[in-house]
Amino acid sequence: MTPRPIARITGLGACLPPTVVTNADFEKSLDTSDQWIVERTGIRERRIAGPDLTLAEMCRVASTKALAQANLSAKDLDVIILGTVTPDRRLPATACDLQALLGATNAAAFDISAACPGFVYGLAIARGFIASGQANRILVLGAEKLSTVTDSTDRSTAVLFGDGAGGVVVEPADDSGRGILSSVLGADGTLADLLYIPGGGSADPVSEKVVRERSHFIKMAGREVFKAAVLAMSRACDGALAQAGITADQIDLLVPHQANIRIIEATAKHAGIPMDKVMVNVDRFGNTSAATIPLALDQGVAEGRIKPGSLLLLVTFGAGFTWGSVVVRW
Ligand code: COA
């Protein structure tokens, strides 16, 4: 039986930086080609936020749209949860900078570090706050400036990542049946070193050595990550569908993490969802980590593919490894 939702999404907003970097741009600086990038990843271009566009500012733009849609003011918010691995500063949380920018004076604010699943982890936390009665109006964001942790000289990662921000307002569900129906989260820390930033943390603080060795940038064993992503995302979909008491054929739209078109296709195939019911924008924005799902939701709504009552399956995977899946009746 489908559970009664406790929390529902009442507002959505996104922010994409204006600068577009195409595959042809990488052909000038790296030993790569548009053909290789498109065939292996499906990516054609990505957006990059320059030094003047902070993560907090991208979040402010996305949040303002989400709040307007929810008919709320910033002062109505109880909590701000930001999923990111690229905060503007190591201290404080960028969620606090955002709280100040918005004037959300009544809101608690914190970042969560769950890599690409940061937004889905945030949704699950928000649902838990609402279920426990601790908070009622929660802003959940996924936002990244991955350009700041991507090594522009490493062709195996440079072409993959982009910047962007998106977020939703989560409030208690009403009687309409719309809302978050299930959520499954997971992690496997034994595989952490397949996708990580080795230097610049407290284990190996920023130093001349870290910068010389370029260990403050993302390192990834692409092929191993690929296999783990397909497996984890497939299992997470199964778990979220089972918990919601629904079958894949009832899903109107699969909204997967946008890392690689081949991972998306394999996940959809496992779930038994045809590609015409799958949201894809990795070609335009690359992998924006925690931002991919809210950006895809925003595009889905704008294109009329997500309407009130649509049944959505969100699924994601990232460094940690971490993964998550959520079924939402929009
Ligand atoms: N241009 C041209 N060649 C490239 C390249 C690029 N941008 N990047 C890597 N290559 C080369 C490699 O050096 C390798 O060459 P070699 O065979 O001479 O050693 C060859 O292409 C194949 O590399 P491989 O890593 O096996 O390719 P792949 O088919 O696995 O594709 C990824 C690479 C990164 C696109 C793919 O593994 C992937 O998407 N992995 C998951 C990434 C991901 O999702 N990360 C985030 C999770 S949130």
Question: What averages of pLDDT result for each successive group of 10 residues across the chain (330 residues)?
Answer: 90 98 96 97 97 97 98 98 98 98 98 98 98 98 98 97 98 96 98 97 97 98 96 97 97 98 97 97 98 98 98 98 98
**Cis peptide, bond prior to residue 110, ω within 30 of zero:** no
pLDDT of residue 3: 80
Q: In terms of domains, do 184 and 138 share one? A: no
Contact 318, 143 (CB under 8 A): no
Q: How many Å lie between the centroid of ligand 1 and the Cα of residue 227?
A: 12
Active site residue 281: no
Task: Reply yes or no on whether 216 is catalytic.
Answer: no
What pLDDT was estimated at residue 209? 98
Question: Does residue 41 sit in the same domain as residue 102?
Answer: yes
| Nearest residue (CA) to ligand 1, atom 48 | 318
Q: Which of 15, 59, 237, 257 is catalytic?
A: 257
The CATH number of residue 158's host domain is: 3.40.47.10
Q: Among the residues of 51-181, which ranges form H helices?
A: 55-69, 94-102, 118-132, 155-158
Instruction: Please tell me whether residues 28 and 140 are part of one structural domain.
Output: yes
For residues 12 and 137, state if they share a domain.
yes
Same domain, 93 and 231: no
Reported as type and span, the H/E element at residue 256 is strand 253-256
In whole angstroms, give the CA distance from residue 266 to residue 243.
22
Residue 2 lies in a domain: no
Length of the chain: 330
> What pLDDT score was predicted for residue 119?
98
170 and 26 part of one domain: yes
Say yes or no: 150 and 184 in one domain: no
Q: How many folded domains does the chain comprise?
A: 2
70 and 171: one domain?
yes
Q: Quote the domain boundaries for residue 126.
A: 7-176
Would 23 be classed as within a structural domain? yes
- Confirm whether 1 is domain-assigned: no
Q: Quick one: 119 and 184 in the same domain?
A: no
The pLDDT value recorded for residue 238 is 97
In a domain, 199, yes or no: no
Closest protein CA for atom 30 of ligand 1 = 223
In a domain, 198, yes or no: no
Residue-level pLDDT at 319: 98
Count of CB atoms within 10 A of residue 280's CB? 18
How far apart are the CA of 319 and the centre of ligand 1, in A? 16
